[in-house]
């Protein structure tokens, strides 16, 4: 198999493995109340920002976000963006009962609620169903089931890494000898 075919097969497998959280997420996540817990918080009504610091957790249905600092950005009365900073910060969501959790980790996570996109920066990792992609940055479009990953372009020449678990393969059956 040539490199182009391997790349195409790998890209297809990743796309299938990381199915959309929007289309397959637990149906009532977005209708649930958002709960925020932290050591401290500061709100600025003029900028539309609330900054939570110290062991911050946000939960909404199966969504769990953890970070050292989280800034909630509002447009009017609507929450539009969740910005997370940590070593690492994490975002997880139960995609479906069959497919388990999608877990995203990075030092900086931007979750854009209106477009269902997650941007992971610095030491980024995204995993689901045993498949893991790592890089310096990963942009994941939940709605369109696509991602883009980049290595470090600051001179270290760090590359992305993709880990695909072995699939469960059916054991070939051994023909039974028939007796005459």
Asked if residue 178 is part of any domain, the answer here is no
Instruction: Share the mean pLDDT of the chain.
Output: 79
Domain total of the chain: 1
Asked if residue 38 is part of any domain, the answer here is yes
**Bigger pLDDT: 161 or 37?**
37
Asked if residue 113 is part of any domain, the answer here is yes
Give me 76's structure tokens: 């009017």
Asked if residue 41 is part of any domain, the answer here is yes
Residues 6+ apart with CB under 8 A from 53: 38, 39, 40, 41, 68, 69
**CA gap 92, 106 in Å, rounded:** 12
Please determine, for residue 177, whether its predicted confidence score (pLDDT) is greater than 70: no
**DSSP label of 13:** H
Please determine, for residue 169, whether its predicted confidence score (pLDDT) is greater than 50: no
* Verdict on whether the full-model pTM lies above 0.85: no
Give the lowest-confidence range in 43-47, 136-140, 172-176.
172-176
What pLDDT, on a 0 to 100 scale, did the predictor assign at position 5? Answer: 38
Asked if residue 168 is part of any domain, the answer here is no
Asked if residue 60 is part of any domain, the answer here is yes
Residues 6+ apart with CB under 8 A from 118: 91, 104, 109, 110, 111, 112, 139, 140, 142
What pLDDT, on a 0 to 100 scale, did the predictor assign at position 20? Answer: 36
Please determine, for residue 97, whether its predicted confidence score (pLDDT) is greater than 50: yes
pLDDT grade, residue 174 (50/70/90)? low
Asked if residue 9 is part of any domain, the answer here is yes
| 113-155 confidence digits (pLDDT tens) | 889 899 999 999 999 878 899 999 999 987 777 889 998 766 6
* Contacts of range 10-17, beta carbons closer than 8 Å, 24 or more positions apart: 10/162, 10/164, 13/131, 13/164, 14/131, 14/133, 14/147, 14/162, 14/164, 15/145, 15/146, 17/128, 17/129, 17/130, 17/131, 17/164
**Bigger pLDDT: 21 or 140?**
140
pLDDT grade, residue 10 (50/70/90)? very low
What pLDDT, on a 0 to 100 scale, did the predictor assign at position 153? Answer: 66
Please determine, for residue 100, whether its predicted confidence score (pLDDT) is greater than 80: no
Question: Domain residues for 56?
Answer: 3-163
Give me 21's structure tokens: 């959280």
Asked if residue 180 is part of any domain, the answer here is no
Please determine, for residue 9, whether its predicted confidence score (pLDDT) is greater than 60: no
CATH code of the domain covering residue 81: 2.60.450.10
């Amino acid at each position: 198999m040539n490199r182009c075919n391997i790349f195409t097969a790998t890209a297809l497998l990743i796309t299938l493995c990381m199915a959309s959280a929007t289309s397959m997420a637990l149906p009532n996540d977005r209708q649930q109340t958002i709960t925020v817990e932290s050591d401290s918080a500061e709100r600025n009504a003029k900028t539309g920002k609330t900054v939570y610091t110290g062991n911050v957790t946000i939960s909404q249905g199966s969504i769990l976000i953890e970070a050292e600092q989280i800034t909630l950005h509002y447009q009017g009365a609507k929450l539009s963006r969740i910005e997370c900073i940590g070593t690492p910060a994490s975002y997880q969501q139960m995609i479906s009962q069959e497919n388990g959790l999608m877990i995203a980790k990075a030092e900086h996570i931007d979750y854009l609620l209106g477009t269902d996109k997650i941007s992971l920066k610095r030491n980024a990792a995204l995993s689901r169903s045993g498949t893991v992609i790592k890089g310096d940055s990963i942009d994941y479009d939940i709605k369109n089931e696509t991602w883009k990953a980049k290595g470090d372009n600051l001179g270290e020449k760090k590359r992305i890494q993709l880990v695909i678990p072995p699939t469960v393969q059916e054991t070939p059956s051994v023909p039974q000898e028939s007796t005459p």
